[in-house]
Structure 1
Amino acid sequence: MTTPTQDTRDRVIRMEGKIEQLERKIDDLDAKVTEMYQLLTQAKGARWMLMLMIDMCDFVIDKIVPIIQSIPGK
């Protein structure tokens, strides 16, 4: 039979083990959230770059089409 002191001690030891597991899980989740934040930040920059490239292509097409249309046909 265990004494109340031993029972309390065993419970505290188990709780400490569970807390260590939770701390490892939280650290793992923190690393994953940080990585996702970095990816989203990069994606935001890539979106702006894509919009800029689309605008540049649109500008070039607007300038080239009249030149091509002015070339006499067959």
Structure 2
Amino acid sequence: MVDDTRDRVIRLETQVDHMNEQLNDMQGKVNAMHDLLMQARGMRYLIIGMAALAGFFASFAAKYLPFTSK
């Protein structure tokens, strides 16, 4: 019975070590993603402004272009 418990503890330690490696890898990926998003934070206003201008010009074109073809 003692040997069985010892083997189970050894397997558990191996699994915990493997999970620690996976968590460290995921933490690195999350940190890289966070850094990338923080760099792109300033571009948010530029993208919103460009989308607003594109919407304005699209509505302007839809309103006035049909009259120019007559």
TM-score by length of 1: 0.58
Q: Which residue of 1 aligns with 2:37?
A: 57
State the 1:63 CA deviation.
2.8
SS in 2 for 1:37: helix
RMSD value, Cα: 1.9
* Per-residue deviation, residues 27-69 of structure 1 (Å, max 9, x unmatched): 000011110110011000011000000001011112333x247
1:1-74 correspondence to structure 2 within 5 Å: 21-65=1-45, 67=46, 68=48
Write the distance in 2 (CA, Å) between the matches of 1:69 and 1:58: 19
Q: Which residue of 2 aligns with 1:16?
A: none
Identical amino acids, percent of aligned pairs: 12
Q: How many residues align?
A: 51
SS in 2 for 1:57: helix
TM-score by length of 2: 0.61
* Structure 2 portions without partners, runs of 5+: 54-70
4+ runs of 1 displaced by more than 6 Å?
Answer: 69-72
